[in-house]
Structure 1
Amino acid sequence: MARFSVAAVLFFQCASAAFHSVKGRPSFRQSATRTNQIATTAKSTAVASATLDPNVMNCFVKLPDNPLSATGLATPIELQAPCSMNVSTQQAFAEAAVFDPTTHSVSIYHPLVINAGDTPPTPPVVPNLPNGAIVAMWFGFNGGVLQLLDQNGLNTNESPALRAIDCVNGLPGVNNDVFGQVSWCNTQPFFAAANASIASGQLTIPDLGVDKNGNPCPTSRSFEIVDACPSDNVPTQYLLLPDGTTVQDTAANRAKYPDAIVINNASDEALLANIVDPVIGCQPFLNPSLDDPGTMVPSLAGDELQASVKQLAPVARVPLNDPDCLLTSNGDISPSKTNAYRLGVNQGLLGNGPNTDNGSLVPYCDGMISIAPPFFQGFQTLFSGQPSPDVTVGNNLFTFLCERYLMSLMQLKCPTAVKQPVTCATDSTGAATSCAINLGASTATASSAVVATATMKTTALTRSATTMRKLPHTRPATTRGKVDQTGSAVPVKEISQAASTTTTRSPVQTDATSEFLPSGRCTFDSSTF
């Protein structure tokens, strides 16, 4: 597998920083390792340094009029200054899913995000939408907080146009309350139509199949895969050209722009479809691409539809303690905000009836502790032979997944396990260099509210101060000729990463010295997956 771009590193850590806390400490996912966050293009470094500010973590995108129409989807979304698609921790991404009520099928389109004022040298493909199409759109971000604006600069709570298509940035109706990196529009009508079609047998969702160890393949709601901030960000990628403009990542554009850099919104969905599945012998759920006809692509929409009907118990749904779901104003748990998030990713509302859950932290933590370590151990040899999505987290895929798991327990503030089955040794930068799993250890959590830190050094861990991005995703071998038969990507070019300045974090999670910003938001998003 090719090494993921800086944009992908944020993928595993809920990197959604609170809007009000831009001066807060960067999170784990916000600790990318690179000389700076400015993508290297043909532009002179002097010009780029003079005009780009990599320290800005909160950004805005302006949506076109009628963004869910064919014309609107093909009209670029504009990232507002001072943010730039040339800065890895300011890159924004979009995914649209289209439900055809006649054929009962789902297809995917990737709206293009550009810098405000730019004109893409190759215009986005205009999708051919079916009659009566129901379109939803999701947004992902590699920085702290991304907010949606209409053409008049109004946000999702103020804009009649955005309210009309149910755009959600956080707790609806509360200005400045944000999820962080993620947002969406029109998800409820889309999922309602798709779910009804599935229930009637008209939309067929493929079975999960079994992995190389004979176990059911994981979904985005499997405890083998989830982290502190499940189901966040999108597996979208663009091409960044030498002149600093962006174009859609299509086969035609890859051929036309061989010097382009592939940039990605690392996401939990991409970790599953593009990294883990190919290694363990599983096939991700793919849907036709409307911007790159003839290809099949993974998507947040497809993953969540499959997980909703194929994931066996226990199901890892978004918990109340998900940092993305805490109130931006004070970091408190909010059932209303958690429900708003769940509606955006096709999950049932909090409850106590059949096929529901109450979002409690302990069952979620117990699920991770009891299920993830055996999965890691079962594929330890295979995972150890794969490159790390982010070498600042672990030196191969195995150590990366183990360290990501440990950091998620800390970020969620899980009760301390009676005995933690996973232990990792880290280097001077805090990256895991080796991990061991003792399945004889008890995996039940204790009643203590202390964060699970059994495997952490007594000395503080180190992370770079810049935002760790989710690893840029690569498409499975069945989707594009530029991917080899092992599922490894052959990107046009990738952004290099180098060590940056570092900050230290105490091994015990506290609001003052943790990877949470003052709001308590998830800054360690699975940015690195």
Structure 2
Amino acid sequence: MSLALIGGPVILAVVAGSVFAAEGRDQHRPLQKQEAAAQPAAARKPDPNCTLLVPDNPLTASGLATPYRLVATDSAQGPCHEANPDQSAFVEAAIVTPSGKLTVYNPLVIDKGTRPAARTARPSVPRGSTVGIWFGFNSSNLTLRTSGRSDSLAQGKCVNGLPGSVFGQFAYCNAPAFFRAANAQIAKRHLRVPALGTAKDGLPCPTTRDFSVVDQDGSDNVVTHYLTDAHGRIAQNNAAGRAALKKAARLTNRGDRHHWHNGRSKSATTSAPRDLANGSDNLLLTQFMDPALGCKPFTAPDQSGDGRATSALALDELSAAADQKAPIALVPRNDPMTLVDGRSSVAKTDAYRTGVDMPAVGAGADGDGAAFCATLFRDPAGVQRVFKDKALFEKAPSPDPAMAPNLFGFLAARANQTFTNLGCDRLLGAADPVVLTTNADGLVTDAVLTTLGRTPSSAAPTTGTSPSVSPSTPSAGTSAGPTAAATSRSSASASWSPKAQQSHGGHRSGS
């Protein structure tokens, strides 16, 4: 999922496509040089493999307030820039106190050699608290590396996958300890997980372990938002960050010699801060599907976001563990992020599950890829629910208007690709049951779900006037319908899912 966001924390705009106290020498670099260093390379495709330098003592208040720094895993493949939404990495922490108080804090990520646009918020981590940290990435392979001054990965009990085989877009630090502490507080009734409630379709509100929500890699990525501007400056998504970026824009505007400041127009260099978001199942559920279904996610105060209520991966998993009824979508062994050299791995699947509070792979069909595919595409609790709720989702905004004009089209395209990316065609010996209708601009305007194992039929073409936009710059306003519809089994958009080919597992990954 690739979002272009502007203004406040979750104000969505049309999609454009799919670093705390640094070392002393970095903090004092001239801002102009910093900005130049942060600019994405326009001449080449962005490097899909980036590394995060984890600060010292990452589980402490000081460590949380220290920026993670983004670098290229292999500099020969090109640079990595946090401000490039195709390379952005995200960090999300959850803190539970001995009394059961739960808060969220989003540590910042900046390019190595730069400094934050604003001072990071100082979190409160009371004595005896337990901190868990999760990571998300908008490209293929994110590698965690120690900051160099100490073994910060060991300090944080960080898990990036198996030796020589990273998960991909996902990683975590101290997650098992956090979930043990949170579950102990839940058992003592010091921490309350709100009930799911009932959706507009009469069914329980979905969770991240609901088969109507999951795709090829469930429980992946985070809900973190950062702020950035046209010069690559990065700040936490709070009032201080917005003020700092607006001030920087005004200063840049003053130096614009090519513009007459007549009070009636703005300089081309002046722009509102943009919101960087991580394409995730969690964001899709809590900010798109939940509102469409009349549901509300589990939230907690965000210490890095002026105390406003926010969802988070850890909260979503606590909610799913507490209330998700069968069938329960646990990470299967054919999840692309749990493969090792293209083959399934129980050890890597268990390592992933541990980070999201799921039980280890057990006996029977648990973890079996074919069983997972069959439930996802055959059970009424799976993709069938998406099609049952078509009318609700068609009225909801699309997470990626470059893929589909509404949420239903987006979810249908996502399901279509999930069938292939999980290898369900091979495992079940069946054709993809989700058939898409696209217009002349490649937007998914309709879809049908056929019975698994039967010959799929085309979705009925809609009629109307084709939008007068270039296929390379699709608009959200395309609901009038195409003049020429076509069924499609390929990606409707590369900006959300799947993302770039991953070298360690030979798979394509996305939200």
Question: Which residue is 2:404 aligned to?
Answer: 394
Distance change in 2, residues 1:412/1:85 (3 Å): same
Q: CA deviation at 1:131?
A: 1.3
Q: CA deviation at 1:129?
A: 1.0
The 2-side partners of 1:453 and 1:145 are apart by: 34
The 2-side partners of 1:131 and 1:376 are apart by: 45
The 1-side partners of 2:120 and 2:500 are apart by: 38
Question: Which residue is 1:98 aligned to?
Answer: 95
Distance change in 2, residues 1:54/1:245 (3 Å): farther
Q: CA deviation at 1:381?
A: 1.7
Correspondences of 1:474-485 after superposition (within 5 Å): none
Question: Which residue is 1:475 aligned to?
Answer: none
What's the C-alpha RMSD, in Å, of the aligned pairs?
Answer: 3.2
Q: CA deviation at 1:386?
A: 2.4
Aligned letter for 1:363?
Answer: A
Question: Which residue is 2:297 aligned to?
Answer: 284
Answer yes or no: is 1:230 the counterpart of 2:218. Answer: yes
Distance change in 2, residues 1:114/1:413 (3 Å): same
Question: Which residue is 2:495 aligned to?
Answer: 468
Alpha-carbon contact 2:89-2:135 (below 8 Å) kept: yes
Answer yes or no: is 1:219 the counterpart of 2:207. Answer: yes
Aligned letter for 1:143?
Answer: S
The 2-side partners of 1:312 and 1:246 are apart by: 40
Among 80, 83, 93, the alignment partner of 1:83 is 80
Aligned letter for 2:293?
Answer: I
Question: For 1:525, what is the secondary structure of its paired residue?
Answer: coil
Answer yes or no: is 1:272 the counterpart of 2:285. Answer: yes
Correspondences of 1:112-191 after superposition (within 5 Å): 112-152=108-148, 160-171=151-162, 174=163, 176-191=164-179
Distance change in 2, residues 1:49/1:390 (3 Å): closer
The 1-side partners of 2:348 and 2:458 are apart by: 32
Alpha-carbon contact 1:241-1:260 (below 8 Å) kept: yes
Q: CA deviation at 1:428?
A: 5.4
The 1-side partners of 2:235 and 2:503 are apart by: 36
Answer yes or no: is 1:360 the counterpart of 2:357. Answer: no
Among 308, 321, 331, the alignment partner of 1:308 is 321
The 1-side partners of 2:38 and 2:186 are apart by: 53
Question: Which residue is 2:444 aligned to?
Answer: 432
Q: CA deviation at 1:390?
A: 1.7
Question: Which residue is 1:28 aligned to?
Answer: none
Q: CA deviation at 1:150?
A: 1.0
Q: Which has the larger radius of gyration?
A: 2
Alpha-carbon contact 1:104-1:197 (below 8 Å) kept: yes
The 1-side partners of 2:311 and 2:394 are apart by: 25
Question: Which residue is 1:58 aligned to?
Answer: 49
- The TM-score, its normalising length taken from structure 1, stands at 0.73
Aligned letter for 1:239?
Answer: L
Aligned letter for 2:97?
Answer: D
The 2-side partners of 1:120 and 1:184 are apart by: 23
Question: How far does the alpha carbon of each residue in 1:318-375 deviate from its partner, in whole angstroms, 9 at most, with x for none?
Answer: 0000000000xx211100000000001110001128xxx6201122112211223432
Q: CA deviation at 1:179?
A: 0.4
Alpha-carbon contact 2:502-2:509 (below 8 Å) kept: no
Deviating more after overlay: 200-209 vs 337-346:
200-209
Alpha-carbon contact 1:141-1:233 (below 8 Å) kept: yes
Q: CA deviation at 1:525?
A: 1.2
The 2-side partners of 1:382 and 1:398 are apart by: 8
The 2-side partners of 1:245 and 1:519 are apart by: 32
Question: Which residue is 1:479 aligned to?
Answer: none
Alpha-carbon contact 1:422-1:455 (below 8 Å) kept: no
The 2-side partners of 1:49 and 1:72 are apart by: 27
Distance change in 2, residues 1:95/1:460 (3 Å): closer
Question: Which residue is 1:525 aligned to?
Answer: 510
Q: CA deviation at 1:241?
A: 2.7
Question: Which residue is 2:382 aligned to?
Answer: 372
The 1-side partners of 2:197 and 2:344 are apart by: 36
Aligned letter for 2:373?
Answer: C
Q: CA deviation at 1:436?
A: 2.8
Distance change in 2, residues 1:56/1:516 (3 Å): closer
Question: How far does the alpha carbon of each residue in 1:160-181 deviate from its partner, in whole angstroms, 9 at most, with x for none?
Answer: 441243211111xx2x311011
Question: For 2:371, what is the secondary structure of its paired residue?
Answer: helix
RCO higher in structure (CA 8 A, sep ≥6):
1
Question: For 1:137, what is the secondary structure of its paired residue?
Answer: strand
Aligned letter for 1:150?
Answer: T
Q: CA deviation at 1:265?
A: 0.7
Aligned letter for 1:218?
Answer: P
Question: For 1:211, what is the secondary structure of its paired residue?
Answer: coil
Alpha-carbon contact 1:322-1:522 (below 8 Å) kept: no
Question: How far does the alpha carbon of each residue in 1:487-528 deviate from its partner, in whole angstroms, 9 at most, with x for none?
Answer: xxxxxxxxxxxxxxxxxx9xxxxxxxx9854644442311xx
Q: CA deviation at 1:191?
A: 0.8
Question: For 2:184, what is the secondary structure of its paired residue?
Answer: helix
Question: Which residue is 2:353 aligned to?
Answer: 342
Question: For 1:88, what is the secondary structure of its paired residue?
Answer: coil
Aligned letter for 2:159?
Answer: V
Aligned letter for 2:318?
Answer: L
Aligned letter for 2:362?
Answer: G
Alpha-carbon contact 1:65-1:72 (below 8 Å) kept: yes
Aligned letter for 1:524?
Answer: S
Correspondences of 1:433-512 after superposition (within 5 Å): 433-437=445-449, 442-443=451-452, 461=490, 468-469=495-496
Q: CA deviation at 1:108?
A: 0.4
Q: CA deviation at 1:254?
A: 3.1
Q: Which blocks of at least 5 consecutive residues in structure 1 are unaligned?
A: 8-31, 36-40, 154-158, 447-451, 471-504, 506-513
The 2-side partners of 1:515 and 1:123 are apart by: 33
Question: How far does the alpha carbon of each residue in 1:73-113 deviate from its partner, in whole angstroms, 9 at most, with x for none?
Answer: 10111112521112221111100111111x21221000000
Q: CA deviation at 1:257?
A: 3.7
Question: How far does the alpha carbon of each residue in 1:190-244 deviate from its partner, in whole angstroms, 9 at most, with x for none?
Answer: 1111122223333211100001122100000000100010000000010003432
Distance change in 2, residues 1:148/1:462 (3 Å): closer
The 1-side partners of 2:185 and 2:102 are apart by: 11
The 1-side partners of 2:385 and 2:288 are apart by: 15
Aligned letter for 1:397?
Answer: L
Q: CA deviation at 1:418?
A: 6.5
Aligned letter for 1:352?
Answer: A
Distance change in 2, residues 1:230/1:460 (3 Å): closer
Distance change in 2, residues 1:417/1:298 (3 Å): farther
Alpha-carbon contact 1:237-1:264 (below 8 Å) kept: yes
Deviating more after overlay: 316-325 vs 389-398:
389-398
Alpha-carbon contact 1:169-1:179 (below 8 Å) kept: yes
Distance change in 2, residues 1:372/1:431 (3 Å): farther
Q: CA deviation at 1:143?
A: 1.2
